[in-house]
Each structure stands twice: as structure tokens, then as C-alpha cells.
Structure 1
Amino acid sequence: MSSVERTADGESVFAPGILDRIVTRYLAGAPPPEVPDDAARLLSAREREVLGLVGAGLDNGEIAARLQLSPATVKSHVRHILAKLDLRDRIHAVLWAHSHGLTE
């Protein structure tokens, strides 16, 4: 799948290494997204697993392959995660996962 197709599908596409630099700089100087500490309990076990992989920089296709799910199911999980945690987008989900220790 091309970067254009992935972006059109709602994914964030970054060159290798960029996501790590974004997260590192953000966590070093900015407060985490304003979500209650107990918000992780709102997520199902599968949603926490998906969020951890999103936080590790995997795209929906990679998460689907790792968890043996369809990409559409992963996309649905990501959408539910964003809604439950009141996060704006996938980048905020990555930051939230890092700040709450959910990444691998």
C-alpha cells in the first residue's frame, strides 16, 4: 500500500525514525495529553494491545499481521481508542501510549 493510500485510509505516514524523534521531543518538553490516569481501564485488553503497537510506530497493516486481525478490525480498534480516550488523532494516541507505559 502506498503512502498516499495509507494517508487516505486515515493512517499517519512517517519516514523511519521520524516518529521516535517526534515522541522523544514531545515527551521531553510538553505535558502529556490531558486524559485521566485511570482512562486505560476504559479500554479492552485488545484495545490496550493495539494502542501499545500504535505507540511503537506500527501501522494498521503491521498491527493486523502481528495480531492476526484484518486491517479493518485494527482501524476499528484505533477509532474506538481515540473515542474512549478523547484523543484527537493517531499522533496523540502514540504520545498517550508512551506517557502511560503501554509501548513495547
Structure 2
Amino acid sequence: MTDPTPIRVLLVDDQALVRLGFRMVLEAENDLTVVGEAADGEAAVRLAVETRPDVILMDVRMPQVDGIEATRRIVTANPSARIIILTTFDLDEYAFGGLRAGASGFLLKDARPAELTSAIRAVAAGDAAVSGRVTRTMLEMFSDRLPAMASSTAPTVDPTAALTPREREILLAIAEGLSNGELSERFFLTESTVKTHVGRVLAKLQLRDRVHAVIFAYDHGLVDRPSPRQGDAR
């Protein structure tokens, strides 16, 4: 039996030693291969087009074009692109900005090799590398940086019109941060049925993964938008 086609990974970081470290970890795995390296966001955008990687590991703070803007450009040009943001601090504003720009997750730069490879495999398979609950936590932390909702005088269009009533319930529960197991318990469904519903919700709303389902629900006012916490020095 032939080995499966390896997952193609593009490394983006302005530090050569960091890229080397990631390369050594990834190329020790039979199902992962590095197809290119970029030291800034501009080069990342170009290489994403040239190499068509399955997953991009994207640093945030880089010269010229930063990782968030590079993520936005790559996802705009190729909506199927899968990007993992590399960050120094857990649950920081840069990681959140990367998710809103279209990334499917984030990792600490000092993540263990097993965490890194597991996240890459998950994202390559179409899953998010960040849970809905973590995404909701980040929305609550950075709610003061969410864009204002459209004016109430604008035409009202139901963004969930394509969903069945049950699918809309599933979407709202995802926005709460519920896992498939928790969705199964709440709606008295098998996990396989839950997965089917989740897949249909994502497909009908053209959402990349559960992370973006949570963001979609908040952006469209489907759930209460958290108020910024008093005393935040931001």
C-alpha cells in the first residue's frame, strides 16, 4: 500500500532559526513536508500562490507586511487556504486578529512538537485548531475591538435564512462554545448526526470551520455581544 500524500506546509517567520526548528520537527514526520519558507508577509503571499501549501504556519510580527495582513490577503485570494497563527502569548490580540483575518487556529511558538504536528493535521483535515469555547473567550476579551454592527436603518436580511430551524439551533450552540459531545447531549442526537448538522451549517454559510462559525454568529448579532470589561486598560 502506498503512503498517503504528505501534508504540504509553508513556514513564515522572520527568524531563520525559528523556521529551521519547525522544519526539523515537521520533516521528522512521514506525513508532513515543508514546501517553502518566507521571512515576511509579502513573500508569504507570493509563496502561498506559487507552492499552494495545505497549511501555512504564520508568524505575526514581521517587517513590511505582518502576519495578520498576509493572512487576510491569502484567504481573500484562496478561501480554502488553511493558516495557523504563531504567537508568543496565549490568547493575545494578535492571535485573535489572525482568527478574524481567516486563520483556523493559533499556536504558541514554544508549543511541543506533538502539539504542532497535531494542529497541522487537524487544520489540513478541515478542522479548527482552536475550540469554539476558546474563540468565544477571545471575543469576550477583545469585544471592544469588534467592528460596529451595521446601522439599524440598513435593510434587514436574515444571515441564517438558508438554515433549517435545527441547523440554526446548532449554529447558536456552536457560538456558545459547545463541543460535538455537548451538542449531542443538549439536542439528544448521536455525535454522527451532530457532525452532519455542523457540516451542513458550515457549508450553507460558507464558513471555514467552527472558529469562524462563532465569529459569524457574533458579527451578525445572533448572540449577545459581550460588553468590554470595566477597568480594561486597552
Q: Please, what TM-score do these two structures have when normalized by structure 2?
A: 0.34
Identity %: 39
Q: Report whether the alignment pairs 1:28 with 2:118.
A: no
CA contact (8 A) 2:175 2:223 kept: yes
Query: Counterpart in 2 of 1:85?
Result: 205
Q: Which runs of 5+ in 2 are unaligned?
A: 1-117, 150-156, 225-234
Query: Counterpart in 2 of 1:39?
Result: 159
Query: Counterpart in 2 of 1:97?
Result: 217
The structure 1 residue matched to 2:183, chosen from 59, 63, 77, is 63
Query: Counterpart in 2 of 1:52?
Result: 172
CA contact (8 A) 1:63 1:74 kept: yes
More displaced 10-residue stretch of structure 1: 80-89 or 91-100:
91-100
Shift >6 Å, 4+ stretches = none
Q: CA deviation at 1:87?
A: 0.7
CA contact (8 A) 1:11 1:60 kept: no
RMSD: 2.9
CA distance in 1: counterparts of 2:169 and 2:183, whole angstroms: 10
Number of aligned residues: 94
Q: Which amino acid aligns with 2:146?
A: G
Flag the structure with higher strand content.
Answer: 2
Query: Counterpart in 2 of 1:19?
Result: 135
The 1:89–1:23 alpha-carbon spacing in structure 2 relative to 1, beyond 3 Å, is same
- Specify the structure having the higher radius of gyration (Cα): 2
Q: Please, what TM-score do these two structures have when normalized by structure 1?
A: 0.70
Query: Counterpart in 1 of 2:115?
Result: none
Q: Which runs of 5+ in 1 are unaligned?
A: none
More displaced 10-residue stretch of structure 1: 92-101 or 54-63:
92-101
* Larger RCO, structures 1/2 (Cα 8 Å, 6+ apart): 1
CA distance in 2: counterparts of 1:83 and 1:48, whole angstroms: 13
